[in-house]
């Protein structure tokens, strides 16, 4: 059973997208199997076994664009993964590009991004190194 405090402690180590693989390893060890992260305010719901924990809003609400700009999103995502942007910047970039949420499935090591209409925009394999 995990707590939101444990998840927050693991997340505190993340300074850029380059740190994300280690964060994933940390929360897997806690027992998290998947989570949903919402761009509008940064709230997230973590699931695993019989546990569920919610991280309430992390920042002031962002307006998520109604239309998705997949090309711009991919450019911004790559910059974030290379450590060129921090998490708040990445979330602002996602909102501007029309990304509403992402769902991470740790058993499959995938992160799938969705637009406001619920359409899958991009699915990535989470690197383990």
Map out the domains of the chain with their CATH numbers.
Answer: 4-48+62-125 (3.30.1810.10)
pLDDT bin (cut points 50, 70, 90) of residue 71 is very high
Between CA 61 and CA 58 the distance in angstroms is 9
Whether pLDDT at 77 is above 90: yes
pLDDT bin (cut points 50, 70, 90) of residue 61 is very high
Beta-carbon count within 10 A of 88 CB: 12
Q: How many CA atoms lie within 13 A of 80 on its CB side?
A: 19
Q: Name the nearest CA neighbour of 78 among 7, 20, 33, 13.
A: 20
Q: Quick check: 6 and 51 in contact, CB under 8 A?
A: no
pLDDT bin (cut points 50, 70, 90) of residue 27 is very high
Whether pLDDT at 60 is above 90: yes
Q: Quick check: 98 and 69 in contact, CB under 8 A?
A: yes
């Amino acid at each position: 059973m995990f707590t939101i405090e444990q998840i927050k402690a693991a997340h505190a180590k993340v300074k850029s997208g380059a740190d994300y693989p280690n964060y994933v390893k940390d929360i897997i060890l806690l027992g998290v199997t998947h989570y949903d992260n919402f761009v509008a305010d940064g709230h997230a719901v973590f699931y695993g076994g019989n546990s569920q924990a919610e991280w309430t809003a992390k920042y002031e609400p962002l307006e998520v664009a109604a239309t998705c700009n997949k090309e711009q999103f991919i450019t911004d995502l790559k910059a974030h993964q290379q450590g060129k942007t921090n998490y708040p910047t990445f979330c602002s970039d996602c909102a501007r590009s029309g990304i509403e949420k992402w769902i991470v499935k740790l058993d499959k090591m995938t992160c799938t991004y969705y637009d406001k209409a619920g359409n899958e925009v991009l699915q990535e394999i989470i690197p383990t190194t």
